[in-house]
Amino acid sequence: MFEFCVEPSQLQGLTWLSCYLTTGKHMAFYTSFGTVLLLLALTAPTALLFGFCGAVASRSAIAPLRWIGRTYVAMVRGVPDIVFFLFVPIALDQGFEYIRHMALCPEVTEPIRRGNDFVVCTAAKLPLNADPQWMHETYGFLLAVLSFAIVFGAFAGNTLRGAFEAVPKAQIETAQAYGMTSRQLFWRILLPQMWIYALPGLSNLWAILTKATPLLFLLGVEDIVYWARELGSMKTSAFSYPHPNWQLWYFLGLLVFYLLLTWVSDRAFARLMARFNLGQGRTGSDTAAAGVGR
Amino acid sequence: MKSLIKGTVAGMIVSVALSGMAMAQTIRMGTEGAYPPYNFINDAGQVDGFEREVGDELCKRAGLTCEWVTNEWDSIIPNLVSGNYDTIIAGMSITAERDKVIDFTQDYYPASPSFFVAMSGQSVDLKGGVIAAQAATIQAGFVAESGATLVEFATPDETIQAVRNGEADAVLADSDFLAPIVAESNGELEVVGQERIGGGIGMGIRESDGDLKAKMDKAIGSMKADGTLNTMIKKWFGDDAATF
């Protein structure tokens, strides 16, 4: 990056360090912090949406919808995360490619599964083999977002269902007595009051989600933990900047990052809690406030 | 708006790629990127090493465009068969067990010995002690059958760490990987034994991908014939390395 970095073996002290910390590999490391934050930013709302749909479905008066909602929540909650992350992205990817294969090259008669191999025609590949690397990476990243959202959506679904049921019966009965339709009741009474009960559980989920991001590497996305391990590992003189094992320093850096992230999210949840507390009945806010993010 | 632009650009790229399909075929080369000098990520963040150089030359000779991808060693075969990349070029020895799942090209690197490495000045029981090896390698298989206690790690680097922090008495890995580490350890590590395990190293290819295997076999053959392969082996593994 700097002009004086041409011959790393001649450098010493701070100059060496400044060159070392600005190598292409370190830049990739710094960028991966953005990747993790972006993953969190995309996954949280998507998971909330999945959870919301799951919760509403599992409370539905229509039986098949209720079964779907309950099965989704029960199934994902029951499978260990790591198994889920090993299986679902590959299944999703193969599912997409299978559909594309059927649509794009119906003339191919050979089976897709041949022994151990999963073979779709060239045009059905997702992304195409010839596509630039960033498209492959973006696709992998989006698969990761989807997998995370499915898993955390199930947990969020259960939290939200509990929150819906925690809204005092008297509130609902009063609304019915006023002649509200069930739709009005849902949007005007249930939904605004539900959040106060859901928030403690959701803030827990958020904390777990931030700490689950290292699972990204299982999905082929190079995240901060991957780079910290890779950069920190011992480097022989096959590399331009040889050094002994420095993983401790890199992981200390990650520790600071995760602590900072948790601290910022704790504050954000405290503010949200205060906001949802406005104009709420005493009982709900007391119980809920006792459990904020702890 | 941004996503709209991105979508349009992506669409354009797709259509260009489709129309250009008749041109050079793009092959994705899967490697581990953590096994110097075979393959590693250099300081610029690119895949580098012996296999990068050989792979690029093979692609040139076979008339293919190659894109390099890294993948964890553990899941390197499953991701090949499910089509995430088209070849494995990651210091993988040709074994009968692996050959049941994938196909191998002819070897591009001859069989080389494996080293046992331990902390200097310690007597190590190689047949009954605790030996570290990378999971799913021929060395791990060897230790498991030798009577020693095997501790497995996901990456090669962790196996060295295990010896340094006393978790394992010794590590068993390819001599080419261990030799530079021992040489640069300031005498802290030493080679305490060696063993000949496995055959040469070949490129792993899906069993259904006969065309690609034929192309790569031919390219490796031509590199053997004109001596370029031997030059590369000497460049990366030293003048004493076994050649063809």
For A131-167, b/e burial (b = at least 16 CB within 10 A) is: beeebbbebbbebbbbbbbbbbbbbbbbbbbebbeeb
Contact A131 B42 (CB under 8 A): no
For residues A167-183, give the mean pLDDT.
Answer: 93
Report yes or no on B244 lying in a domain: no
- Closest residue to B207, CB basis, from A115, A133, A240: A115
CB contact under 8 A, A130 and B20: yes
Distance from C-alpha of B186 to C-alpha of B205, rounded to nearest angstrom: 40
Tens-place pLDDT, residues B23-54: 568 899 999 999 989 999 998 889 999 999 99
Q: What would the pLDDT profile of A51-73 be if each residue is shown by its tens digit? A: 999 999 999 889 999 999 999 98
**In chain A, whose CA is at the least distance from the CA of B205?**
A117
What CATH code is carried by the domain that includes residue B29?
3.40.190.10
How wide is the angle at C-alpha B89 spanned by C-alphas A23 and A91, nearest 5°? 95
Task: Output the CA torsion A278→A281→A287→A292 (10° steps).
Answer: -10
Residue B1 lies in a domain: no
Q: Do B67 and A217 touch (CB under 8 A)?
A: no
| Residue B73 near residue B155, CB atoms below 8 Å | yes
Q: What is the ipTM of this complex?
A: 0.79
pLDDT at B8 over 70: no
Match 């490495």 to its residue by tokens. Answer: B117
Instruction: State the residue for tokens 């082996």.
Output: B233
| One domain for residues B70 and B29 | yes
- Say if the Cβ atoms of B83 and A230 lie within 8 Å: no
A234 touches chain B (CB under 8 A): yes
CA B228 to chain centre: 19
When CB atoms are compared, the residue of B43, B75, B81 closest to A239 is B43
Closest Cα to residue B69, out of B29, B37, B34, B39?
A: B29
Handedness of CA A166, A169, A173, A175 (dihedral sign): negative
Q: Which residue, B178, B195, B212, sits at the end of a domain?
A: B195
Q: Do residue B37 and residue A238 have CB atoms under 8 angstroms apart?
A: yes
Query: CB atoms < 10 A from the CB of A66, how many?
Result: 15
CB contact under 8 A, A234 and B160: yes
Structural domain containing residue B55:
25-110+200-237
Convert the pLDDT of each residue in B79-112 to its tens digit: 899 888 999 999 999 999 999 999 999 999 999 8
- Give which of B82, B182, B186 to mutate to test A binding, by max A Cβ within 10 Å: B82
CA gap A95, A114 in Å, rounded? 16
Residue B131: half-sphere exposure toward Cβ, Cα within 13 Å: 27
Whether residue B83 contacts residue A139, with contact meaning beta carbons closer than 8 Å, is answered with: no
Closest CA to A221 of A85, A130, A27: A85
Q: Kindly report which listed range (A187-196, A271-280, B183-192) carries the lowest average pLDDT score.
A: A271-280
On whether the CB atoms of residues B36 and B74 are closer than 8 A, the answer is: no
Adjacent-strand bridge partners of A114: A117
What is the C-alpha R_g of chain B?
20
Q: Measure B160 CA to nearest chain A CA, in Å.
A: 9
Pick from B44, B155, B181: CB nearest A25: B44
Rg of the Cα atoms in chain A = 25
Tokens linked to B179:
């030799």
Which two structure tokens, joined as six digits, stand for B231?
Answer: 């030059």
Say if residue B106 is in the same domain as residue B123: no
Q: Which residue range(s) make up the domain with A13? A: 3-290
Overall number of domains in chain A: 1
Phi-psi region of A249 (alpha: psi -120 to 50; beta: other; left: phi over 0): alpha
Nearest to B15 by CA among A216, A131, A85: A131
- Decide if A119 and B78 are in contact by the 8 Å CB cutoff: no
Assess contact for B130 and B148: CB atoms under 8 A: yes
Token code pair at residue A34: 């953005």
Q: Supply the DSSP symbol for A106.
A: T
Closest chain B residue to A236, measured at CA: B181
**Whether residue B29 sits in one domain with residue B104:** yes
Quick check: A168 contacting B, CB < 8 Å? Answer: no
Interchain CB contact of A128 with B (< 8 Å): yes
Whether residue A239 and residue B25 make contact (CB cut-off 8 A), yes or no, is no
Q: Are residues B121 and B184 in the same domain?
A: yes
The pLDDT of residue A294 is above 60: no
pLDDT the model gives residue A87: 81
The yes-or-no verdict on residue B122 having pLDDT over 80 is yes
Same domain, B205 and B95: yes
Pick the residue of B6, B12, B43 with the most A CBs within 10 A to test the interface with A by mutation.
B43
Q: Check A117 against B164: CB less than 8 A apart.
A: no
Instruction: Give the closest residue to A216 by CA, choosing from A115, A120, A116, A148.
Output: A148
Element (H, E) at B48: strand B47-48
pLDDT of residue B133: 96
- B138 and B213 in a single domain? The answer is no
Of B10, B43, B44, the CB nearest to A135: B10
- For B97, half-sphere exposure in the C-beta direction (CA atoms, 13 angstrom radius) is 9
**Statement: residue A139 has pLDDT above 70:** yes
A118 contacts in chain B (CB < 8 Å): 81-83
All residues of chain A having their beta carbon less than 8 Å from the beta carbon of residue B20 are 130
Distance, in Å, from the CA atom of A183 to the CA atom of A174, rounded to the nearest integer, reads 15
**Strand locations in chain A, DSSP E?**
113-114, 117-118
Q: Which of A24, A118, A128 sits opposite B82 (nearest CB)?
A: A118
Amino acid at B114: S
Whether A15 has a pLDDT exceeding 70, the answer reads yes
Q: Which residue has the tokens 């195409």?
A: A128
Same domain (yes/no): B174, B124: yes
Omega before A214 within 30 of 0, i.e. cis: no
Instruction: Please state the domain count of chain B.
Output: 2
Q: Is A171 exposed, middle or buried (0-12, 13-18, 19+ CB in 10 A)?
A: middle
Model pLDDT for residues B196-226, shown as the tens digit of each residue: 988 899 999 999 999 999 999 999 999 999 9
Q: Of the candidates B69, B32, B56, B78, which has an alpha carbon nearest to the alpha carbon of residue B173?
A: B32
Based on the fold, state whether residues B145 and B181 are members of the same structural domain.
yes
Tell me the nearest-neighbour CA distance from B44 into chain A, angstroms: 4
- Closest chain A residue to the Cα of B207, Cα to Cα: A117
Per DSSP, A28 falls in state: H
Helices A224-232 & A247-277 angle (0-180, nearest 10): 160
Label residue A281 by pLDDT band (50, 70, 90). low
Closest CA–CA distance from residue B239 to any residue of chain A (Å): 16
Interface test with A, best of B18, B38, B39, B41 (most A CBs within 10 A): B41
Task: Report whether pLDDT(A26) > 90.
Answer: yes
Question: At A115, which CATH number?
Answer: 1.10.3720.10
Q: Is B181 in the same domain as B205?
A: no
How many angstroms away from the CA of B215 is the closest CA of chain A?
18
Structure tokens at B56: 């690029």
Residue-level pLDDT at A203: 94
Specify whether B160 is located in the same domain as B215: no
Q: What number is the average pLDDT over the span B175-202?
A: 92
* B84 chain-A contacts, CB cut-off 8 A: 93, 220
* Partner B contacted by A137 (CB < 8 A): no
pTM value is 0.82
**Whether the predicted pLDDT of B18 surpasses 70:** no
Lowest-confidence region among A157-161, A214-218, A233-237: A214-218
Q: How confident is the model over A180-206, as a mean pLDDT?
A: 92
Q: pLDDT (tens digit, 9 = 90+) per residue, B51-85?
A: 999 999 999 999 999 999 998 898 899 889 988 89
- Angle CA(B106)–CA(B202)–CA(B142) in degrees, nearest 5? 120
Coil, strand or helix at B31: strand
> Kindly report the CA angle at B138 between B132 and B141, in degrees rounded to 5?
65
Decide: B197 and B175 in contact? Cβ < 8 Å: no
Q: Which of A24, A115, A236 sits opposite B36 (nearest CB)?
A: A236
- Give the minimum alpha-carbon distance from A175 to chain B in angstroms, rounded to a whole number: 42
Of residues B81, B83, B101, nearest to A120 (C-beta) = B83
What are the structure tokens assigned to A51, written together? 């959870």
d(CA B90, CA A265): 41
Which contiguous run of DSSP H or E holds residue B96?
helix B96-99
